[in-house]
Structure 1
Amino acid sequence: MHIAGARIKLSPLDESDLDLFIETSMSSAMMEHVYDPCTFEQANDAFIAKSRPWTMDSDGWLSLGITEVTTGEKLGNIGLKITSHEARIAEVGFMIKPSAQGRGFASEALNLIKHFALLELGLNKLVATCSVGNSNSYKLLEKNGFIREGCLKQNVIIKGEYVDDYIYGLCKSDL
């Protein structure tokens, strides 16, 4: 499976995505609003889990590497995880390396995966969670049609501190 846009393509994670995945998972700066940075072993285990084959019945993530078409450069990853098979709801998440941020790649990737999930997979709703301090992520979600549905107080612990998260949603009927 490959999902292609004007400047990027999304493909299931493979060995060519491993180095960037581990680098971002272990980076304090990249994980600042997500969770505590992983150890190498934790990052490697997460990569193995997210690289497993995926079907609509899977409980794990459909994780896709983001690659720039013209250069072949690995930019990050994006994925979705069905959280309710009955209601056809999936969570979406993304990570873009710092040198690729602010150049529209994340927006293109999010647009591609939302259309794939809602139109091709037939899901009804996508949700996303991001730290209230992560303005880049929530601005990206809003730019791509996601609506802030609430604030989850003290939803996660990062670096030993409770952090509030915004929850966003996008329904198929909103497209």
Structure 2
Amino acid sequence: MQPADYVTSARITYQQINSDDWPFFVALQRDPRIACYLASSHSDDAMREAFECRLPRWEPGSRHWLCLVMREKTSGEPFGVTGFIDRGEGIAEVGYLLATRVHGQGLGYESLHALCDYAFQVCGYRKLVATVTVGNEPSKRVLEKAGFKIEGTLRENYFLEGRWQDDWLFGLLAHECASG
């Protein structure tokens, strides 16, 4: 069974990203309210490479990102992507992007909670981590609501918008997760 068969939640359907999702992926990455926290200034070629490396079928043990497109169950409209990548030693790094039109509706938390359940219960990870650009308060709140704890600040870790940015590092252990 595919990851999307296991990752479930009340208002969202999940499907592994495919080549038809390219226009949505680009639009999400280029939204200026999202791009200010991302390396969206990458060239078209770099963005295409980042997209294509997520296309191969994902299964536990894969070395590339599991990238799931999230869609509203009622309309079928895509509104974001979520997923993780194995970082070794039983640790996976999670990530997510949501279209600004759905910010503040609880869909980020709902999807992260479902993804954590899958990562811990099905894939057997012992820890999940996330890196967030300092100042991205909405993402910080979503992670904290899901039980993630700030483990530190990586100073001047990421060059973005013409200057070095700090990153917050978050972690969640399987035994800390309410359903893990």
Instruction: Give the TM-score, by structure 2 length.
Output: 0.91
Residue matched to 2:10: 6
Range that drifts further, 16-25 or 97-106? 16-25
Q: 1:16 to 1:7 in 2, by over 3 A?
A: farther
Q: Secondary structure at the match of 2:128?
A: strand
Q: Secondary structure at the match of 1:64?
A: strand
Deviations 1:58-81 (A, max 9, x none): 221011100111110101100100
Q: Secondary structure at the match of 1:77?
A: strand
* 1:49 maps to 2:53: yes
Structure 1 gaps of 5+ residues are: none
Residue matched to 1:113: 115
Matched-pair contact (CA < 8 Å) for 1:26–1:43: no
Deviations 1:17-54 (A, max 9, x none): 22110112233331211224233333222211111112
Could you tell me how far 1:9 is from its partner in structure 2? 1.4
Q: Secondary structure at the match of 2:79?
A: strand
Q: Please give the residue correspondences for 1:117-156 in structure 2 after superposition, counting only pairs within 5 Å.
A: 117-156=119-158
Structure 2 gaps of 5+ residues are: none
Give, in whole Å, the separation in 1 of the partners of 2:80 and 2:21: 8
Identity of paired residues, percent? 30
* 1:33 maps to 2:55: no
Give, in whole Å, the separation in 2 of the partners of 1:132 and 1:104: 21
Instruction: Give the TM-score, by structure 1 length.
Output: 0.93
Q: Secondary structure at the match of 1:5?
A: coil
Q: Please give the residue correspondences for 1:84-123 in structure 2 after superposition, counting only pairs within 5 Å.
A: 84=88, 87-123=89-125
Give, in whole Å, the separation in 1 of the partners of 2:80 and 2:130: 17
Q: Secondary structure at the match of 1:50?
A: coil
Aligned Cα RMSD in Å? 1.3
Could you tell me how far 1:124 is from its partner in structure 2? 0.4
Deviations 1:100-130 (A, max 9, x none): 1111111111000000001111110000000
Residue matched to 2:167: 165
Give, in whole Å, the separation in 1 of the partners of 2:40 and 2:105: 26
Matched-pair contact (CA < 8 Å) for 2:33–2:100: no
